[in-house]
Chains A and B, each alone.
Chain A
Amino acid sequence: MMTTRTCCGRQFNAPQYSSWSLEANSHRNNMGAVQSGPTEHEFQDIADRTGFSLEQIRNLHKRFKWLNNHQETLRREDFEKVLNLSLNPIRAKIIQAFFDKRNFGMNEVGLVEEIGFEEFLTVMSYFKPPNKKLTEDETEALRTKKLRFLFNMHDTDNDGTITLEEYRHLVEKLLSTCETLEQDTAQDIADAAMLEVARTTVVHMEPHEVYEGVTFEQFQQILKGIELETKMNVRFLQVNTTTMHCGK
């Protein structure tokens, strides 16, 4: 199901992917008016590409339609419909991730204004639970992919490093739910964290060098301890059911 093509966002085969999205776009333009969604066949197609099961895709599609009021594309405002999201301290970053071209697997950067179902799915595919039968390499690739997603979330200006400013912004957002916390504390923490990265990852530093920020390699290194591949998951079960899946 899961091939390396989908595993590592950055290694997507660009031409292939764009042809797919072209196809998808044309589909959207031509058939969208006639029927509200892709056909079973197209679902199957997407399922093959993204590694989602048909049922998951159907569920997500339903949700997608609900989010954008049965439009073809999803815009930032649509996310306001999700009530719980408004309480999420880093909602801006999450929503941003959906409109970040870097996450679509094409070697493009920048932001888009609206996304289609395929892009939506592509972003969602970062949160797929790991398959039980993954090999070591595939697990590693999956991990890299998820890490890259997180990294992109923080590296807002796409310069390859999470700079101190970006880090501070992140921590401030993260701690923004604690109203009573001084703003200084967040900064202190970001600074300390930054220094920690520098201390643990930079082996040697010339006196004239300045620590620019966390690179992706360093990011990987500091997060060695987190089992991202087993934690950063959404189960994509039935949508809008009130059953609580408390198994995990």
Chain B
Amino acid sequence: MRRWSCLVQSVFIFVVVSFLRESNGEIASGQDGPATLLPPVKPPEPDHGPQPFPDEKTHLPVFTMDYPRIQLPFEITLWILLASFAKIGFHVYHKITIWIPESCLLITIGLIVGGIMHSVQEEPPAVLESNVFFLYMLPPIVLENGYFMPTRPFFQNAGTVMWYAVVGSLWNSMGIGLSLYAICQIQPFGVQDINLQENLLFATIISAVDPVAVLNVFQDISVNEQLYIVIFGEGLFNDAVIVVLYNMFIFVAELDVVESVDVFLGVARFFVVGLGGVFFGFLFGIGAAFTSRFTSKVREIEPLFVLMYSYLAYLVAELFGISSIMAIVVCALTMRHYVEANVSQRSCTTIRHVIKMLASISETLIFFFLGVVTITTDHEWNWGYILATLLFAFIWRGLGVLVLTQIINPFRTVPFNYQDQFGLAYGGLRGAVCFALVFLLPDTINRRKLFVTASIAIIIFTVFIQGISIRPLIEYLINIRRTHKQETINVEIHNRVMEHTVAGVEDICGQWSHHYWKDKFKRINDGFIRKILIRDNRSESSIVALYKRLELLNAMELLDTQNGDISAAPSIISLNDERKASYKPKKKFLASDLKNMHEVLRKNMYKIRQRTVEYTSKHALPDHSKAKEILLRRHSSIRRSLRPGSFRDPAEARSYRYSSLPAGANLDAHFPPRPQDDPRSQMGRPFARTRLAQSLRPSSHAMRPIRELDTLRGLPVGESRGHPASVDVLNEKSSGRYASPSSRPPSRTAMVPTPRIGLTSAVPRNDPEWETEEEVEEEEEEGQPQSPAPSWAADTTRRQSPLLRQTPRDSHGPR
């Protein structure tokens, strides 16, 4: 249903646009389309000034309407909105986008809108002006691809990717071009006037593959990563190659005679352009990374640097006529890791979102306009030429993959088998770049219309037929190797171990491969580059990074879970039976209490994360230091809990626990228990049952010597950390006999209901910020009862005086 409402909205927008333009009497002015960025809006006709009622005398107008003034941005906005609404619409019923690629749907919507426009004689927006496309639409798409390129598999397969992208593009354009030239010699088709250069130009255009739809499918069914990265990389670098070739052929097509010198110069230029792009990209990437080193005080504009530097790389490359696509891709690749190490967590998220969003808008618009333009342009249909184009594009692509794979396979550790090759060949959809390039053909090319028609035909054919059929084909017919990617710490660790092992064995037997170069690069990187580009150089292993990410995710889920079922918050992998087990304690609460409690908690939690520290100064942006802190404490507790043999000496253990108890003791005295009080329930899932079972026993916090704890809380970190007799979750299972009430960690008692639940939720919150801060602190502390954080000592005083709080909090800055 929502889909229809979206459509209705879309149509409404469209009608509004038309109406407004009608009302200004400026329709059908040809080059003055809604989304034209170039020509300035026409000056309004004399009687169409701000004065809406020309008959009257000039008084102060009560109501004015100056549409021409806002026309350009207004219409751009509306077009983007229209396309975006269409996009929402597709996702209402998710199965549509599974079986039909989004690009198909966008083109279809575009066709419908185009049909409407055509019927009311509306001109399509001139969105595909050369400058608009190259300066505004293409960069976001390419930036997104470059920025989100899976670096490791890419560099492992860099040779293959480049091989397919460069040689494959040349192969396709030459092959198709020459074949079409041969077709042109056949009398009955009536296309003898197309010369070789023009054929090559056209062939180049339709060699630009755009595998977005295929990549989505491949990602969904998780094909092996080699195939994925090759298609991904090919699509990306193929664009770069195609644009270079295109510019060359445009130049050549206007020459009457092509000399051999020109061919040589063309080859030379090809390399200059490509390598120049790499150079500029690298330069700006380093620049961005270096700049981001100093942005810690201006968090709010951090993401801007990434975008601006990338765009600058693109523009400068355009300025010198070198490959701007290469420049922006290399720039994104270069800066990404350094920038993300420098900027705050939020900025990082923002950067990613903005890049994704821009790319998504661009792509949506391009496919959308593809549909529109298909209807609204004049076509020249030539059966022979267009069918030949389709046929040759298909054949040369298949042949190219076959031949190129045969050549590259001996150099690959994991050769592509025939199924992979099929995926590669069939994944050669044509899309945005192809469409844009053909529209940018200068009018001097005769038969331009035929080229446009043929290109649109091949795009629609590949996007619809291949795009729709590739999923069922791969899923049911062709058994492509699949990778089941798991993001677990174990996988990461063992991947690393394996890589190191292979590198080591290669060293031993004197082999050099990418492992060698990777090692080498890593050493230079850690020893030199990182030191310059990253503010606080903690050279971080990907294992640590992944670990942190997973933990953060975990904590976030923990905090975000609603419905009171926090103990069953989705962890990375949660076992069903355990989940059921964790439901049990819930029954002990009154449902309403529980709900209340969680409501309060949840709200406060959000405030914490969004408000407290963050907005103390105008330029500060929220960050995740809070969550990190929770994690940090949690880690140490997990580690401690795993330590074997901690029950050798129960007496010692007990005394140790006393020292770690204050958190819990305070907690229980001041705050309502919460199911998520013990984040370990996430990590320690298998053991949850045990702890839960114990938690059913009567609460013991009343028996704990609270005063005594206060004296002990200042325990030095080092001492307690190294203490062997720590609370041991693992062994606690077997330690029921030691679980005397007084020695039990507070985390367990927290499961037991206390009469404070209702109270807390009823407490009037006249100072929400203060309240929430306290809540979070408790949250941390509750989770880490054993963690002897020194900050504890200050806690009691802080609680008494809300004002004092700001001081320690500020020191908790992102660093």
Contacts and interface: CB of A to CB of B under 8 A. Distances in A.
Interface in B697-725: 721
Q: Quick one: which of B501, B523, B547, B690 has the most chain A CB within 10 A?
A: B501
Interface stretch (B392-400, B445-453, B460-468, B509-517): B509-517
Nearest to B539: A178
B506 interface: yes
B508 A200 contact: no
B689 interface: yes
B274 interface: no
Q: How large is the interface on B (under 10, 10 to 19, 20 to 34, 35 or more residues)?
A: 35 or more
Nearest to B516: A84
B461 to A, nearest CB: 33
B76 interface: no
Interface in B657-677: none
B446 to A, nearest CB: 43
A245 B573 contact: no
Nearest to B543: A189
Contacts of B224: 227, 230
Interface string B560-601: 000000000001110101000000000000000000000000
Contact of A192 (B508, B523, B683): B683
Contacts, number: 252
Interface stretch (B315-323, B728-736, B765-773): B728-736
A60 B512 CA distance: 14
Contact of B494 (A63, A150, A208, A241): A150
B799 interface: no
Interface string B497-528: 11111111111111111101101000100100
Given A225-B491, A236-B511, A247 B410 contact: yes
Interface string A188-225: 11011111111110111111111100000000001111
Contacts of B644: 164-165
B544 A185 contact: yes
Contacts of A228: 498
B157 interface: yes
Contact of B489 (A150, A164, A193, A244): A193
Contacts of B494: 150, 222-223, 226
A208 B158 CA distance: 52
Contacts of B159: 246-248
Interface in B527-558: 537-541, 543-544, 547, 550-551
A181 B513 contact: no
A225 B157 CA distance: 19
B733 A208 contact: yes
- Interface of B (DSSP majority class): helix
Contacts of B156: 248
B488 A210 contact: no
A245 B685 CA distance: 46
B620 interface: no
Contacts of A237: 511
Contacts of B163: 247
Given A188-B639, A199-B573, A227-B483, A153 B501 contact: yes
Contact of B638 (A188, A239, A245): A188
A234 B506 contact: yes
Contact of B498 (A170, A179, A189, A232): A232
A171 B493 contact: yes
B489 A225 contact: no
Contacts of A179: 539
B412 A94 contact: no
B131 interface: no
Contacts of A191: 635, 638-639, 642
Contact of A245 (B497, B512, B543, B571): B512
Interface in B450-492: 481, 483-486, 488-491
Contact of A180 (B411, B491, B537, B638): B537
Contacts of A239: 509-511
B415 interface: yes
Given A87-B519, A184-B636, A233 B502 contact: yes
Contacts of A174: 493, 496-497, 500, 541, 543
A29 interface: no
Contact of B509 (A193, A197, A234): A234
Interface in A161-185: 164-165, 170-171, 174-175, 177-181, 184-185
Contact of A240 (B483, B504, B510): B510
Contacts of B491: 222-223, 225-226
Given A178-B544, A195-B683, A223 B501 contact: no
B157 to A, nearest CB: 7
B684 interface: yes
Contact of B501 (A187, A225, A232): A232
B415 A226 contact: no
B683 A230 contact: no
A248 B486 contact: no
Contact of A207 (B495, B510, B551, B690): B690
A136 to B, nearest CB: 11
A171 B506 CA distance: 22
B261 to A, nearest CB: 32
Interface in A55-112: 59-60, 63, 66-67, 79, 82, 84-85, 87-91, 93-94, 97-98
Contact of B414 (A192, A196, A248): A248
Interface in B141-174: 156-160, 163
Contact of A224 (B160, B413, B484, B489): B484
A94 B489 CA distance: 21
Nearest to B694: A207
A174 B546 CA distance: 14
B686 interface: yes
Contacts of A41: none
Nearest to A185: B544
Contacts of B804: none
Interface in B341-392: none
Contacts of A47: none
Contacts of A247: 159-160, 163, 408, 410-412
Contacts of A189: 489, 493, 543-544, 547
A203 B575 CA distance: 8
Contacts of B539: 177-181
Interface in A14-54: none
A204 B502 contact: no
Contact of B730 (A85, A97, A193, A210): A210
A174 B489 CA distance: 13
B304 interface: no
A166 to B, nearest CB: 12
Contact of A85 (B411, B507, B686, B689): B507
A196 B481 CA distance: 27
Interface string B677-693: 00000011111011001
B421 to A, nearest CB: 13
B517 A210 contact: no
A86 to B, nearest CB: 9
B5 interface: no
Q: Quick one: which of B481, B510, B635 has the most chain A CB within 10 A?
A: B510
Interface in B49-90: none
24 contacts: A60-B509, A82-B507, A94-B500, A153-B501, A170-B497, A174-B493, A178-B538, A181-B540, A188-B547, A188-B635, A189-B547, A191-B635, A192-B683, A193-B489, A195-B638, A198-B686, A226-B494, A228-B498, A230-B226, A234-B511, A235-B413, A242-B512, A247-B411, A248-B160
Interface of B: 156-160, 163, 224, 226, 408, 410-415, 417, 481, 483-486, 488-491, 493-514, 516-517, 519, 523, 526, 537-541, 543-544, 547, 550-551, 571-573, 575, 577, 635-636, 638-639, 642, 644, 683-687, 689-690, 693, 721, 730-731, 733-734, 736
Query: Closest 8 A-B residue pairs measured CB to CB?
Result: A247-B411, A94-B504, A225-B486, A246-B159, A188-B635, A248-B413, A230-B414, A248-B412
